[in-house]
Structure 1
């Protein structure tokens, strides 16, 4: 069962990589994201862990998320109704703008690592999980979809994770683990990964990812 799950991950990643990128206009998108700056900052580099960094995440991924939020498939209370007046071209342009921005790197933080007596232990575990997964529990490495450097896979629609707020990554993995986050074509994949991770492992890998660039 563990082996078959890892195989499915690889097959889906290969198929998704053949899909076409969204066709947004970054210049046009700059004028359409003013309402987003309060939470995500003008360039998409949010300063607060509760709000994700959007800069450089990947145009296809961002477009899909905006579509899901507008349709109500992905529920984010703070964004309820904000996209109702936007056309799909608007969403593509917004995604293109944010993807064109340079994402700042948070750096791995030696904070909130509950359960670890030594921060170095958390960083080592996080790196091992990200690069090799955990064969004993059937957790695949993150590099297959999100790249060794955390830059993602644009054509496949897998987001860049490097430099993202550790707290945000942790919160999303916990939502996948609980089934709260279930929208999007890749939700089942992420749920399958997260349910095989302990909360301690989630904290460690989130912390490690925040330092990738």
Structure 2
């Protein structure tokens, strides 16, 4: 875990990628084509498609650019972003950032293990705490490209963690996905399911 934290601190400063400030009003019109998968307000009703409501604009814009440049492999989304400019992607992301994410519900049988992995990781196997980057309430770190994860669909999070565990990243110039590869490498199937469920039930601290 210590090695992971050293790697994290070394990568983050050099990974900053400036993205333009989006216009949510312009983004609302552009986002109409996204609604069929992600919902009108960014709350998708299909669990394999992520909720985008409330997601930090800088993170969502950066991910969209990676997909457009075919560095992140999302075949079903590529045609939707292939002809959009950086500014248009920032506008769409700004619109979604202003939407309120709908809360989810965790499986009570998985909460104990999920909370342990999220808040403390697994010291014995070198799994770092998710909260280190995504925050205790899952809000992420705006401006540092660490996304909000709270209330995300369990199925989507499971799929992403399994892909990272298998070594999938978005190129040598994207240290953030490489951080996730390192973080997920030693997760068990049980831990992935539990922490993903815990994340779906994770709400902002009141």
Q: How many residues align?
A: 201
Report what 1:209 is aligned to. Answer: 199
1:66 to 64, 67, 86: 64
- Conserved in 1, the CA contact under 8 Å of 2:134 and 2:147? yes
TM-score by length of 2: 0.91
- Conserved in 2, the CA contact under 8 Å of 1:16 and 1:156? no
- Conserved in 2, the CA contact under 8 Å of 1:66 and 1:91? yes
Instruction: Report the aligned-residue RMSD.
Output: 1.9
In the alignment, does 2:67 pair up with 1:77? Answer: no
Report what 1:30 is aligned to. Answer: 28
Report what 2:55 is aligned to. Answer: 57
Give the direction of change, closer, same or farther, for the CA distance of 1:174–1:29 in structure 2 (3 Å limit): same
Report what 1:114 is aligned to. Answer: none
Q: CA deviation at 1:11?
A: 4.8
CA deviations 1:19-49 (Å, max 9, x no partner) are 7664111111001011100000010000111
Distance of 2:119 and 2:7 partners within structure 1: 18
Deviates more, 1:39-48 or 1:183-192: 183-192
Q: CA deviation at 1:57?
A: 1.5
The residue correspondences of 1:142-157 to structure 2 (distance < 5 A) are 142-157=130-145
Distance of 2:188 and 2:180 partners within structure 1: 14
CA deviations 1:57-111 (Å, max 9, x no partner) are 111110011101111111212113221221111011011111111111112135x
TM-score by length of 1: 0.88
**What is the SS of the residue equivalent to 1:56?**
coil
Deviates more, 1:19-28 or 1:188-197: 19-28
In the alignment, does 2:141 pair up with 1:129? Answer: no
Distance of 2:202 and 2:15 partners within structure 1: 22
- Conserved in 2, the CA contact under 8 Å of 1:39 and 1:51? yes
Give the direction of change, closer, same or farther, for the CA distance of 1:19–1:70 in structure 2 (3 Å limit): closer
Distance of 1:82 and 1:182 partners within structure 2: 19
Structure 1: 5+ residue stretches without partners: 111-118
Distance of 1:17 and 1:148 partners within structure 2: 23
